Structure 1
């Protein structure tokens, strides 16, 4: 397997990474919106026992979710040391010699840890300017840790600490979302968020000509909730009112967005929003996405409290395993995958 990170310098963009003009970043929709910024939610109040303050934070999250499908959180309880340590270990992994990464290279999506390049959805044969680690990270067990790489030396311990803290943040967010929607506080607990937590560590090396390629295709996430450490290099764009909004890095923040399952269980109130990744020519960019997943046999459909005469059920009930298969068939295309589960309205 050819990894972009195995080459220290790219003098030009190889043909297989060059997109046709109509698919290139500069020509998709309008120019990136520069006058709108994602809401930044301060979670510090949410950790307090004062119900009134917590309610304000919950309402702020729902407002941001309805408007953008994305928001950033600060004072989130994840230690900056834990974030830095795992990002450093991940960067060191990508910088290792090719032969040390080779044993982990695989396109087998069932592996609990693997390294690959581009994406499994490059069906048109054009490749994306991205290497990535895809791994299971929670719940942590000795068996799971044994699948993680032993090099660099700090990788396993820093991943275990980082994933535990991010998982706790995700559960806090789900409690607040439930409260903000008027659902039972335990609505998202159990099977709906109890699947194996996945993580994607995305590495985008400097690109000689970012105007002809993309780091990652426009897509919506298939799961429930994403907690993203973007770092200090911009590159993530979210679709907003027909334009692409650059998600500007906020020091110490996590970017939060909703997956398809959140849209379905809230009956469209909190929508999953398309997003993509750009490259740049100056520096490498690395993002760490933690993906909160339902269990494979979890039955999913609109929550009864989110369905009414004015807002009838938009989606049929299904098992999450069925959704995963449909997502792959649709090659991550938002409308194509949702069409499998949408109820026709009369």
Structure 2
């Protein structure tokens, strides 16, 4: 793929959908190092589950244990599954629909949120610092800071409603 085509493409979605794509661009590939550690089988080390009910329960021992598990999940994994939360499935499904709608916006509409600074309250792109990263991930992202101030994209219509 010519570098001019690569420069016009701002998302992995548009890159993957491009009729000009004949191979994976070198910036999205890397070779493995034989000295790297082997990846652990996920069945041996499942994604941590944090029980929301225990976090808000009035029983100090249970809450303390849940807080310890939450801290450990954040330190060791950086993410976790929340169990026994109170968010209705219908709201989660609507939010997923809105996220798909965001990524289906035109490249020009999404570029409104292509922040140049890592601390921008709303940022979309393929890499946090594409000009400096040596290898880009094969993904698009949308990052929204919602604390201490609430921020939300204005597009697609209704996106803000589902974040509140």
Q: TM exceeds 0.5?
A: yes
Q: Return closer, same or farther for 1:122/1:81 CA change in 2, 3 Å cut-off.
A: farther
Aligned to 2:5: none
Structure 2 unaligned spans of 5+: 1-8
Considering fraction of residues, name the structure with more strand. 1
Q: CA deviation at 1:31?
A: 3.3
1:110, 1:124 → 2: CA distance? 17
Pick one of 7, 10, 18 that aligns with 1:2: 10
Pick one of 146, 149, 153 that aligns with 1:149: 153
Q: What does 1:95-114 align with in structure 2 at a 5 Å threshold?
A: 95-114=104-123
Aligned to 1:69: 76
1:134, 1:38 → 2: CA distance? 22
Q: Return closer, same or farther for 1:140/1:78 CA change in 2, 3 Å cut-off.
A: farther
Q: Deviations over 1:52-72 (max 9, x none)?
A: xx4224224425755873453
If the length of structure 1 is used for normalisation, what is the TM-score? 0.36
Contact 2:124/2:142 (<8 A) preserved: yes
Aligned to 2:33: 22
Look up the SS of the partner of 1:91 in the other structure.
helix
Q: CA deviation at 1:21?
A: 2.8
Aligned to 1:117: 126
If the length of structure 2 is used for normalisation, what is the TM-score? 0.68
Q: CA deviation at 1:140?
A: 4.8
Aligned to 2:61: 55
Q: What does 1:134-283 align with in structure 2 at a 5 Å threshold?
A: 134-140=143-149, 144=151, 148-160=152-164
Look up the SS of the partner of 1:138 in the other structure.
coil
Q: Return closer, same or farther for 1:137/1:102 CA change in 2, 3 Å cut-off.
A: same
Aligned to 1:40: 49
Look up the SS of the partner of 2:101 in the other structure.
helix
Structure 1 unaligned spans of 5+: 161-346
1:12 to 2:12 alignment: no
2:16, 2:130 → 1: CA distance? 26
1:125, 1:113 → 2: CA distance? 23
Cα root mean square deviation, aligned: 3.2
Q: Deviations over 1:227-267 (max 9, x none)?
A: xxxxxxxxxxxxxxxxxxxxxxxxxxxxxxxxxxxxxxxxx
